[in-house]
Structure 1
Amino acid sequence: MSGKTVNSAIFLLILGNGMAMVSDLIVKMQGENVAVFQFVAVRLVIMLMLLLPFIKKVDFDRLWEGGRLQFIRAHVSYAGICCMVVALSTLPLATANAIFYAAPLLVVVFSVLFFRETLSKSSLFAVVSGFIGILVILRPLEISWSAISAIGVACSLAISATLVRKLPKGQSTVHSMLVSQIMMVPIAMTLAIWEDAAFDTDTLYYALGSAVFISMYNATVFMSYKWVSPQQVTSAEYTGMIWAILLGILVFDEVPDAWLIVGSSLIILPLLGIAYLERKRKQFGRLATS
């Protein structure tokens, strides 16, 4: 794999994470009075429409294969999206995203608990450091529903990522996304009706903007990981924190404090260390077998 290709993939991921932060920014711009269930339902419909051009990648002969697992993932993801809207609308942009980055740590924990994987010393250090980082950011005396929502997002992302390995082999990303989104529709519509919030046309624009930018992020991730091995470029994913800090300062005048910087470092740096060690281990393995 050429250095030029790797650099292109890294650039795409950095750009993509900026787009993901713009999506978060749009969600946050709605303010604390957002009708959460209504917004999520409208965004869900738009996401389904954005998937339609890729419908050929769906295997309709096996559409509902793994349906029980997809149903669980869909509803966990729906809960996570609702938590995300609450967290982003009430917490500083960088604070919310710092907690979201705890998801990879939770994936490690869930893999040990549910798949009996062995926890290496480096992974154990990263998990302990990450949870300390969350405590540093939130400071237990200040924990609120906003903070709990942010932790809920991380848990949702981690559960969804952990369950992916149990999905039927050969299912495309578009297939999985489409089935998951379809399964979210009943609960999304039911809760939106129950919420009984007056419809505001601004909700449509916010939902459209958020859906478009998060779809662009998904596209950059797909392209990057198609070009090169994830181990080569995964560290670029954490540039999202830089975007979150910059956009928070520029748009909302949210200057990060020392607690956020220290806590974020405790979460992200060990993860970068694990990615580096894993890359070195694979390089050594290739040399040993060549």
Structure 2
Amino acid sequence: MSGKTVNSAIFLLVIGNALALVSDIFIKLLHPDTPVFQFAFLRSLMTLVLLLPFCRVLAGQSFFQGARVHFIRAHIHLAGMVCMVIALTHLPLATANALFYAAPILVLLLSAIFFAERLTPLSLMAVFSGFAGILVILRPVEFNWAAWAALVSALALALGALLVRKLPKQQTTGHKLLLNYLLLLPTAGVLAWWEGAAWQPELLFNAFGSAVFILGYNVTVLLAYRQVDASQVTSAEYTGLIWAVLIGWIAFAERPDIWFLVGSLMIVIPLVLIGIQQGRRNRQRIHRPTTS
């Protein structure tokens, strides 16, 4: 695999994470008292509408194959989306994103618990260092309900990533995304009705903007990981935290303190090292001479 291909994939991930941050900004611009269920319903509806033109060619008889897992995963996604809105509207942009990066750490931990995957010493270090980094960023005196919401959102991301393994292999990414939003939309609508908030048409702009850019992120990630092994470029995903710091500083006058910087490094560095280690193992496996 050429270095040019790897560089192309890294570039796509850097751009993709910038697009994800723009999606976060559309949420960050919401008022803290915004009806979260109404927003979640509108964003889900907008995303579903945007997906429909790209999902015309789907297997008719197997459209709802794996519906049970899709249903569970969709509602975990809905819970994570609601918690993400709460976190982004009440925490600094960079702090919320740093907590979202607990997701890869939780994936490591949950993979060991539910799939009996062996944790290497480096993986164990990533788990302990990551959770310690979260405590460093927040400090116990600042561990409020919005911080808990960010961690629940990270947990939802981790569970969603693990449940992908249980989905039908032949279903395309577009198919999976379409089913995800199709299955969660009724529940989101019921929750928005139960919330009882007055209709706020101005939320349509934020919901549409957030939906467009998060879909852009999903597309760039799909294109990047089609070109190369994930382990070779996954560290580029963490450039999202750099974007969060820069945009939070420029657009929202949020200056990161030393606690944030130290805690973020404690979360990200072990995960980057795991990606580098896995990339080396893959290259050694490819170049290892075979015996006849």
Q: Return the TM-score normalized by structure 1.
A: 0.97
- 1:30 correspondence with 2:30: yes
Q: How does 1:110-189 map to 2 (within 5 A)?
A: 110-189=110-189
- 1:74 correspondence with 2:92: no
What displacement does 1:53 show? 1.5
Whichever residue aligns with residue 236 of structure 2, its letter is A
The C-alpha deviation readout for 1:244-275, integer Å capped at 9, x for no partner, is 00010111100001111011100000000000
How far apart in 2 are the matches of 1:30 and 1:251?
14
- 1:196 correspondence with 2:196: yes
Superposition CA RMSD, Å: 1.0
> Which residue of structure 2 aligns with residue 92 of structure 1?
92
How far apart in 2 are the matches of 1:259 and 1:193?
41
> SS at the partner of 2:254?
coil
How far apart in 1 are the matches of 2:200 and 2:35?
9
The C-alpha deviation readout for 1:207-234, integer Å capped at 9, x for no partner, is 0110011111111111111122222211
The C-alpha deviation readout for 1:135-165, integer Å capped at 9, x for no partner, is 1111122211100000001100000101111
Whichever residue aligns with residue 155 of structure 1, its letter is L
The C-alpha deviation readout for 1:96-115, integer Å capped at 9, x for no partner, is 00010010110111111111
The C-alpha deviation readout for 1:60-119, integer Å capped at 9, x for no partner, is 211111111111101111000000000000000000000100101101111111111111
Q: How does 1:226-241 map to 2 (within 5 A)?
A: 226-241=226-241
Whichever residue aligns with residue 254 of structure 1, its letter is E
> Which residue of structure 2 aligns with residue 209 of structure 1?
209
> Which residue of structure 1 aligns with residue 280 of structure 2?
280
- 1:43 correspondence with 2:43: yes
User: Given that residues 58 and 174 in structure 1 are in contact (C-alpha distance below 8 angstroms), is that contact kept between their aligned partners in structure 2?
Assistant: no
What displacement does 1:8 show? 1.7
Whichever residue aligns with residue 141 of structure 1, its letter is V
What displacement does 1:56 show? 2.9
Whichever residue aligns with residue 129 of structure 1, its letter is S
User: Given that residues 81 and 153 in structure 1 are in contact (C-alpha distance below 8 angstroms), is that contact kept between their aligned partners in structure 2?
Assistant: yes
What displacement does 1:186 show? 1.5
What displacement does 1:57 show? 4.3
Moved over 4 A (4+): none
Aligned length, in residue pairs: 290
Whichever residue aligns with residue 132 of structure 1, its letter is A
Q: Return the TM-score normalized by structure 2.
A: 0.97
User: Given that residues 235 and 275 in structure 2 are in contact (C-alpha distance below 8 angstroms), is that contact kept between their aligned partners in structure 1?
Assistant: yes
Identity of aligned residues (%): 51
How far apart in 2 are the matches of 1:229 and 1:159?
22
How far apart in 2 are the matches of 1:254 and 1:130?
23
Question: Which structure 2 residue ranges, 5 or more long, are not aligned?
Answer: none
How far apart in 1 are the matches of 2:60 and 2:115?
30
The 10-residue stretch of structure 1 (6-15 or 94-103) with the greater mean CA deviation from structure 2: 6-15
User: Are the structure 2 counterparts of residues 149 and 57 from structure 1 closer, same or farther at C-alpha, using a change threshold of 3 Å?
Assistant: farther
Whichever residue aligns with residue 221 of structure 1, its letter is V
How far apart in 2 are the matches of 1:213 and 1:123?
32
> Which residue of structure 2 aligns with residue 61 of structure 1?
61
